[in-house]
């Protein structure tokens, strides 16, 4: 049996998972690390702590491995390669010589460069940026974060121009540390989130580098998501291991869900929802302000070694709506309780909850929308509200899916799901009903780490290609739609009426 070590570096924790060649979890370790909020709207990580926790969990996993196999007549387990997946957009700037960060990492959630983005928008730059990068001009992405570091860390710009500093998203940072500074690289799925790469050519874009005043000397080399890109220092994990797969977390999850053909999509139900749809070799420009992004470059695709593009959208309030029922309304004590409560009534009694607590994202894009509960009568109970909350998660995902399908001109045949709230069977049934297509939950729900392992395994011959992985991907449960098409449309139309009532509420 051969194994792959996936490093899954997330926003709140570093995780490591060893998968066997059948895609099953053989060992897992996880460590949380500190979040820093030095000013309102600022979010920082200590890149050194990220590396320390990531290395620690990798070592823990490797050590656990023989015990996971005890009882079986086995030679020492062989880890064939490492795959990396990571929180995206988070920006690290470090000293090439010492390998030490020169400033705290600016996390994707950090809003400090919002004013700079507004300035660029006023200067009419948004359309050109979207054409080249597939992104909506926003502080979320790395470009303005890196620009900020170069402008605000004393001496950084001069040192960057002299070639003494290196920039990277978390993947590059980890690769640099793992290889003892020998490899400074990133993959197109991560580079696509920097707002500095042209997603059509997969190269750093001269014009964008000028716009954000980024010296070329700080940039990592862009290499395929699946392929040998370096070897770990032998003192780190006992023996040198090849690093052979890299992808941003959402793209890795899409790969781990084996969404290799155009029109295949996955939705991750966590705090928010992240939906990605594979659009094949075509970078589809969205008319609904969805993002166009590189899925991966490498031996992906059911049909060969190509670059796969995705449309990506997110729902701000998904599992967070359930948290609000628990912490705000206090009508449940734990998130999983919502299912039984919602199932205690046959329907919402025409009650709708529009969870626009933080405005509405795609496809409505209304920052002034606010949370709205409509249709209450004397007969309404907390059960109706709980059910309306679950429906709202499914309805927002259905709206997003509709926008995606229209943008791509592709019809969905099923939706693959993962994330904490995907364990809720009622929610998944409601989702199938509201999409009108089956919702499929896989046996292995560690799809993000699995995607990184698959990318690494494809590059090292553990798997022959997408078809072999697609065959390995196994269904845990499939939820078939039960509503008639007219009932489904009526439900969505009624939801749209509720959304209209939520719009434009906040005056400031």
Name which of residues 417 to 476 contact ligand ADP (CB under 6 A). Answer: 419-421, 423-424, 427
The token duo for 214 is: 């980024």
320 or 345: whose CB is closer to ligand ADP?
Answer: 320
Q: In angstroms, rounded to a whole number, what is the distance separating the alpha carbons of residues 327 and 210? A: 47
Q: In angstroms, rounded to a whole number, what is the distance separating the alpha carbons of residues 368 and 412? A: 31
168 or 419: whose CB is closer to ligand ADP?
Answer: 419
139 or 338: whose CB is closer to ligand ADP?
Answer: 338
Q: In the bound complex, what is the minimum distance in angstroms from residue 273's beta carbon to ligand ADP?
A: 9
Question: 345-369 burial, b for 16+ CB within 10 Å, e for fewer?
Answer: beebbebbbbbbbebbbbbbebeeb
Which region, left, alpha or beta, applies to residue 305 given φ > 0 means left and ψ of -120 to 50 means alpha?
beta
Name which of residues 245 to 274 contact ligand ADP (CB under 6 A). Answer: 270-271
Q: Are 420 and 281 in contact (CB under 8 A)?
A: no
Q: In the bound complex, what is the minimum distance in angstroms from residue 282's beta carbon to ligand ADP?
A: 30
Q: In the bound complex, what is the minimum distance in angstroms from residue 49's beta carbon to ligand ADP?
A: 19
87 or 297: whose CB is closer to ligand ADP?
Answer: 87
The token duo for 204 is: 């750093």
Q: In the bound complex, what is the minimum distance in angstroms from residue 94's beta carbon to ligand ADP?
A: 27
All residues at 6 or more sequence positions from 112 whose CB lies less than 8 Å from its CB, including other chains: 39, 41, 42, 106, 139, 145, 148
The token duo for 367 is: 């920052």
Q: Is the peptide bond before 441 cis (omega within 30 degrees of 0)?
A: no
- What is the full DSSP assignment across 440-455? EEES---HHHHHHHHH
306 or 423: whose CB is closer to ligand ADP?
Answer: 423
Q: Which stretch binds ligand ADP (CB under 6 A): 57-65, 318-326, 450-458, 476-484?
A: 318-326
Q: Is 43 in the site for ligand ADP (CB under 6 A)?
A: no
302 or 417: whose CB is closer to ligand ADP?
Answer: 417
Q: Is 323 in the site for ligand ADP (CB under 6 A)?
A: yes
SS3 324: helix
Q: Is 292 in the site for ligand ADP (CB under 6 A)?
A: no
- What are the distances in angstroms from CA 269 to CA 23, 97, 140, 418, 472? 22, 41, 20, 6, 23
β-bridge mates for residue 400, sequence order: none
Q: In the bound complex, what is the minimum distance in angstroms from residue 11's beta carbon to ligand ADP?
A: 8
User: Residues 61, 156, 320, 498: which binds ligand ADP (CB under 6 A)?
Assistant: 320
β-bridge mates for residue 203, sequence order: 198
SS3 174: helix
User: Residues 69, 222, 311, 322: which binds ligand ADP (CB under 6 A)?
Assistant: 322
Q: In the bound complex, what is the minimum distance in angstroms from residue 419's beta carbon to ligand ADP?
A: 4
281 or 336: whose CB is closer to ligand ADP?
Answer: 336
Q: Which stretch binds ligand ADP (CB under 6 A): 85-93, 102-110, 146-154, 331-339?
A: 331-339
Q: In the bound complex, what is the minimum distance in angstroms from residue 393's beta carbon to ligand ADP?
A: 8
Alpha helices in 134-169 (DSSP H): 142-152, 156-161
Q: In the bound complex, what is the minimum distance in angstroms from residue 121's beta carbon to ligand ADP?
A: 29
Q: In the bound complex, what is the minimum distance in angstroms from residue 389's beta carbon to ligand ADP?
A: 9
Name which of residues 368 to 427 contact ligand ADP (CB under 6 A). Answer: 419-421, 423-424, 427
Q: Is 338 in the site for ligand ADP (CB under 6 A)?
A: yes
Q: In the bound complex, what is the minimum distance in angstroms from residue 110's beta carbon to ligand ADP?
A: 18
314 or 372: whose CB is closer to ligand ADP?
Answer: 314
All residues at 6 or more sequence positions from 49 whose CB lies less than 8 Å from its CB, including other chains: 33, 34
Q: Are 80 and 3 in contact (CB under 8 A)?
A: yes
Q: Which residue is nearest to ligand ADP (CB)?
A: 420
User: Residues 248, 256, 298, 319: which binds ligand ADP (CB under 6 A)?
Assistant: 319
Q: In the bound complex, what is the minimum distance in angstroms from residue 422's beta carbon to ligand ADP?
A: 8
97 or 340: whose CB is closer to ligand ADP?
Answer: 340
338 or 373: whose CB is closer to ligand ADP?
Answer: 338
Closest CA to 447 of 427, 474, 423, 418: 418
271 or 297: whose CB is closer to ligand ADP?
Answer: 271
- What are the distances in angstroms from CA 473 to CA 2, 256, 342, 476? 18, 8, 31, 10
Q: How far is CA 220 from the centre of its chain?
A: 21
The token duo for 221 is: 């080399």
175 or 439: whose CB is closer to ligand ADP?
Answer: 439
Q: Are 105 and 42 in contact (CB under 8 A)?
A: no
- First-to-final CA distance of the chain: 60
The token duo for 140 is: 């979320």
User: Residues 240, 336, 461, 504: which binds ligand ADP (CB under 6 A)?
Assistant: 336
Which chain residues interact with ligand ADP by CB under 6 A? Answer: 270-271, 319-320, 322-323, 335-336, 338-339, 419-421, 423-424, 427
């Amino acid at each position: 049996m051969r194994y792959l070590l996936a490093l899954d570096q997330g926003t709140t924790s570093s995780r490591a998972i060893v998968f066997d060649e059948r895609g099953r979890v053989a060992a897992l370790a996880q460590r949380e690390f500190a979040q820093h909020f030095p000013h309102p709207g600022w979010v920082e990580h200590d890149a050194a702590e990220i590396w320390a926790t990531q290395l620690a969990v990798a070592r823990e996993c490797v050590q656990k491995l023989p015990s996971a196999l005890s009882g079986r007549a086995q030679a020492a387990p062989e880890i064939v390669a490492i795959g990396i997946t990571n929180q995206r957009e988070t920006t690290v700037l470090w000293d090439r010589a010492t390998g030490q960060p020169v400033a705290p990492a600016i996390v994707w959630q950090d809003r400090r460069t919002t004013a700079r983005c507004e300035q660029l928008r006023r200067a009419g730059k948004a359309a050109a940026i979207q054409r080249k990068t597939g992104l909506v001009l926003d502080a979320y992405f790395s470009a303005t974060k890196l620009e900020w570091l170069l402008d605000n860390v004393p001496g950084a710009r001069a040192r960057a121009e002299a070639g003494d500093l290196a920039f990277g998203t978390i993947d590059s940072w980890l690769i640099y540390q793992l290889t003892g500074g020998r490899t400074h690289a990133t993959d197109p799925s991560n580079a696509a989130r920097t707002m500095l790469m042209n997603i059509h050519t997969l190269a750093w874009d001269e014009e964008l580098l000028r716009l954000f005043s980024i010296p070329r000397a700080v940039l990592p080399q862009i290499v395929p998501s699946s392929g040998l890109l370096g070897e770990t220092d032998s003192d780190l994990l006992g023996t040198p291991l090849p690093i052979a797969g890299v992808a941003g977390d959402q793209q890795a999850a899409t790969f781990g869900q084996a969404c290799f053909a155009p029109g295949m999509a996955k939705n991750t139900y966590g705090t928010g929802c992240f939906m990605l749809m594979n659009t094949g070799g075509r970078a589809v420009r969205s008319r609904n302000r969805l993002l166009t992004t590189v899925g991966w470059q490498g031996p992906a695709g059911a049909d060969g070694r190509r670059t796969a593009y995705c449309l990506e959208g997110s729902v701000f309030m998904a599992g967070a709506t359930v948290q609000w029922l628990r912490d705000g309304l206090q009508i449940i004590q734990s998130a999983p309780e919502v299912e039984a409560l919602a199932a205690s009534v046959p329907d919402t009694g025409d009650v709708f909850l529009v969870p626009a607590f933080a405005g509405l994202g795609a496809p409505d894009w209304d920052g002034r929308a606010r949370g709205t509960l409509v249709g209450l009568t004397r007969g309404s109970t907390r059960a109706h509200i709980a059910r309306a909350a679950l429906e709202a998660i499914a309805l927002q995902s259905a709206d997003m899916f509709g926008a995606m399908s229209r943008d791509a001109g592709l019809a969905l045949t099923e939706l693959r799901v993962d994330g904490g709230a995907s364990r809720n069977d009622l929610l998944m049934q409601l989702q199938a009903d509201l999409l009108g297509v089956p919702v499929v939950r896989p046996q292995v729900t560690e799809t993000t780490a699995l995607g990184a392992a698959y990318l690494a395994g494809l590059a090292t011959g553990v798997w022959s290609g997408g078809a072999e992985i697609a065959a390995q991907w196994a269904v845990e449960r499939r939820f078939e739609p039960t509503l008639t098409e007219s009932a489904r449309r009526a439900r969505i139309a009624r939801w749209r009426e509720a959304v209209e009532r939520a719009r434009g509420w906040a005056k400031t």
